[in-house]
């Protein structure tokens, strides 16, 4: 009897333990699921917090656009100033000095036209670009000769001996001799401008024309700057 009683008691104790542990295991699993769900919910909530990555990325994309606009705005005036500098502007200052209008005298060296004789002359310099000038002149005599050269102007250089600045020029054009036998020929010219004051420029040059024969004259004068 005692053996039967203890066998039944052991069997009942084993069933009770299995029942208790069987009920606790699902409860722990549920707790684990709840805690993991809480972690997932917290992560989802943190992704919805204001000031997200999308907002900061849009700010980064906006920065290059503004830099491009600033660059285009900064380069536009330079392009416009370059284009304006290349436009011909009659009467402008060149690198040799200002434009001028004046009078002078021609010393003829050789030839049959007035350019090869002593004569009164009207001279001028009309700046076209920074480097180029037109220097029309008239050598007045029995048969007036008109000189229309286009010259390249060089920058002013200081002469240490005379303490004066000189600006060389050289060029070519046409010479027109008036009279009964009006003729046109090629012209080569070269000389220097000497600025004396902001208002006055002295000039001297050699003109060689090829009309009927080779005519050579030395022109010296003074011009008023404008």
pLDDT in tens, the chain (226 residues): 555 655 666 666 555 554 444 444 444 434 444 344 443 344 444 444 454 444 444 444 444 544 545 544 444 445 444 444 458 889 999 999 999 999 999 999 998 899 999 999 999 999 999 999 999 999 998 889 999 999 999 999 887 777 789 999 999 999 999 976 678 999 999 999 999 999 999 999 999 999 888 999 999 999 999 9
Assigned domain for 90 exists: no
Is the distance from CB of 125 to CB of 226 less than 8 angstroms? no
Assigned domain for 95 exists: no
Assigned domain for 135 exists: yes
> Of the residues 85, 117, 145, which one is the last residue of a structural domain?
85
Assigned domain for 37 exists: yes
Is the distance from CB of 196 to CB of 202 less than 8 angstroms? yes
Instruction: Return the closest-CA partner of residue 99 out of 194, 201, 218, 189.
Output: 201
Predicted local distance difference test score (pLDDT) of residue 11: 65
Does one domain contain both 212 and 105?
A: yes
Nearby residues of 70 by Cβ (< 8 Å), 6 or more positions away: none
CA–CA gap between residue 2 and residue 176 (Å, rounded):
156
Assigned domain for 105 exists: yes
Instruction: Return the closest-CA partner of residue 219 out of 122, 91, 97.
Output: 122
Assigned domain for 36 exists: yes
Domain residues for the domain of 156 are 100-225
Assigned domain for 161 exists: yes
How many structural domains compose the chain?
2
Does one domain contain both 149 and 59?
A: no
pTM of the model: 0.61
Does one domain contain both 120 and 219?
A: yes
């Amino acid at each position: 009897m005692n053996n039967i009683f203890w066998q039944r008691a052991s069997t009942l104790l084993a069933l009770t333990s299995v029942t208790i542990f069987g009920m606790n295991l699902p409860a722990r699993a549920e707790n684990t699921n709840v805690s993991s769900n809480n972690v997932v919910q917290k992560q989802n909530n943190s992704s919805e917090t204001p000031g997200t990555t999308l907002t900061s990325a849009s700010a980064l994309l906006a920065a290059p656009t503004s830099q491009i606009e600033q660059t285009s705005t900064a380069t536009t005036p330079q392009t416009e100033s370059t284009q304006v500098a290349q436009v011909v502007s009659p009467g402008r200052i060149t690198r040799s000095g200002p434009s001028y209008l004046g009078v002078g005298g021609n010393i003829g060296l050789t030839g049959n036209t007035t350019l090869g004789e002593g004569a009164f002359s009207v001279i001028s310099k009309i700046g076209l670009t920074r480097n180029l000038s037109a220097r029309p002149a008239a050598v007045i005599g029995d048969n007036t000769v008109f000189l229309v050269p286009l010259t390249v102007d060089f920058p002013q250089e200081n002469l240490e001996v005379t303490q004066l600045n000189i600006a060389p020029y050289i060029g070519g054009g046409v010479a027109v001799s008036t009279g009964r036998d009006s003729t046109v020929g090629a012209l080569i010219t070269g000389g220097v401008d000497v600025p004396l004051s902001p208002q006055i420029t002295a000039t001297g040059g050699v003109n060689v024309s090829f009309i009927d024969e080779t005519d050579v004259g030395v022109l010296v004068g003074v011009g008023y700057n404008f």
